[in-house]
Structure 1
Amino acid sequence: MTLLSESELKQVSEAIDRIERDTDAELVTVLAAQADDYRYIPLLWASLLALILPGALLFFTGWLAAWQLLLVQWLTFVVLAVVFRIPSLTSRLIPRSVRHWRACNLARRQFIELNLHHTVGGTGMLIFVSEAERYVEILVDQGISSRIDDSVWQSIVDTFTEDVRNGQVLEGFLTCIETCGSLLKQHVPATHERNELPNHLVVLP
């Protein structure tokens, strides 16, 4: 199941086509549903609470025998491991730093896997979005970073991130692509016609 409709995917592809006519940059866009399934998170929290809660009960009441303590710990772990798998609860258990760390790692893997580091002149550029984490990042190769300071992309990322938070993923992509296109046209203008990488939006489930 794609995160955007076929017509919306086509709009993104057409936007990339337009800006690449005026720049040597090779732009690739990636949209991920989420950066990780976080299956370990419910188990981690269940394990932690299974150790703490029965121990606290023993400390305050003193009535648990050793075998009863183990039983309560196992029951606590099993119940919480199941309950914490409810998606709405799981998302609340994941620290923001962990979500962004996983999304950041995925963005860098995509940059390598899509061969953005092997373009002629080092002009690869990735616009990456992970919807579940509300995470947006722009990664560029040395051919672009040597001409445009990395800090320039931050305001574009901030605007796009707000669009993602508001559920306006398509609008965010189109605005981001056009804004980046203006900068690339100015600082990395087209010197010859080429198209090394696919222009369609890469969607990760």
Structure 2
Amino acid sequence: MTLLTQDEQQQVAEAIDRIEQHTDAEVVTVLAAQADDYHYIPLLWAGLAALLLPGILVVLTGWLSSGWLLLTQWLTFIVLALVFRMPGVTTRLIPRSVRHWRACNLAHRQFIQLGLHHTSDATGMLIFVSEAERYVEIMVDRGISQRIDDSVWESIIADFTAHVRQGKTLEGFLVCIDACGAELRQAVPATHERNELPNRLVILS
């Protein structure tokens, strides 16, 4: 998985600069390689398989000594734990709900850690992407949510998510930022010059 290059990150920063000239919103973008390392997932599935396999063998063969039972369980656990740790395999073992839950938690933590809830007019906006989970979220503070309904962001998020699935993360960012800028320009127009938060793309690798 390749995150954006320095030149691509600069393009994102410049896009934020452009829209912030016309709105009081403070926009911050975050790109994460993945929301969690999911180390426990391979162990969980390997352990479950190790518990079930002996029972299946007993049904099929009708016999399995206690010594072979223990050996079979250990070998099953070790082999599958190693196989399931392969990135391509691990991703398929994680339920979509779990992946999105972890990504959502990370997005909320970033909103707080980056100070988006402390802007002077409560006009912070976070555009968050986690590539491994194919997850996109837009979070706004009350100064924006009181003027723009959350449903407005749904189509923007859906479009961005489609770009991420196609491996077009940069294009997704630029389209998303411009779309958000159009909404912010109307609902939260610029009243004075300011830049409380950095416009650079925050990378979580």
- TM-score (ref. length: structure 2): 0.97
- Structure 1: which 5+ runs fail to align? none
Structure 1 window deviating more from structure 2 (52-61 vs 100-109): it is 52-61
Aligned to 1:168: 168
Which residue of structure 2 lines up, in the alignment, with residue 112 of structure 1?
112
Residues 86-105 of structure 1 show CA distances to partners (whole Å, capped at 9, x for unaligned) of: 11111111111111111111
Deviation of the 1:63 alpha carbon? 1.7
The one-letter code sitting in structure 1 at the alignment partner of 2:78 is V
- Can you give the 5+ residue segments of structure 2 that lack an aligned partner in the other structure? none
Q: Which residue of structure 2 aligns with residue 78 of structure 1?
A: 78
Quick one: distance in 1 between partners of 2:55 and 2:115?
52
The CA distance in 1 between the partners of 2:157 and 2:198, in whole Å, is 22
Q: In the alignment, which residue of structure 1 is the partner of 2:24?
A: 24
Question: How many pairs are equivalent?
Answer: 205
Secondary structure (helix, strand or coil) at the match of 2:189 reads coil
TM-score, normalised with respect to structure 1: 0.97
What's the C-alpha RMSD, in Å, of the aligned pairs?
A: 1.1
User: Within 1, Cα distance between the matches of 2:141 and 2:156?
Assistant: 17
Q: Give yes or no for contact 1:58–1:64 (8 Å, CA) kept in 2.
A: yes
| Per-residue deviation, residues 67-116 of structure 1 (Å, max 9, x unmatched) | 22111111110111011111111111111111111111111010011010
3-state SS, counterpart of residue 136 of structure 2: strand
Query: Contact 1:2–1:203 at 8 Å: present in 2 too?
Result: no
1:38 counterpart residue number:
38
Alpha carbons of structure 1 residues 2 and 52: separation in structure 2 relative to 1, 3 Å:
closer
The residue matched to 1:149 in structure 2 has which SS?
A: coil
Task: State the secondary structure of the residue aligned to 1:98.
Answer: helix
Q: Is the 8 A contact 1:50 1:73 kept in 2?
A: yes
Paired letter, 2:174:
L
User: 1:116 & 1:103 partners in 2: Cα distance?
Assistant: 18
Instruction: For residue 50 of structure 1, give the secondary structure of its aligned residue in structure 2.
Output: helix
1:159 is aligned to 159
Which whole-Å CA distance do the structure 1 matches of 2:14 and 2:190 have between them? 18
Aligned to 2:117, what secondary structure does the other structure show?
helix
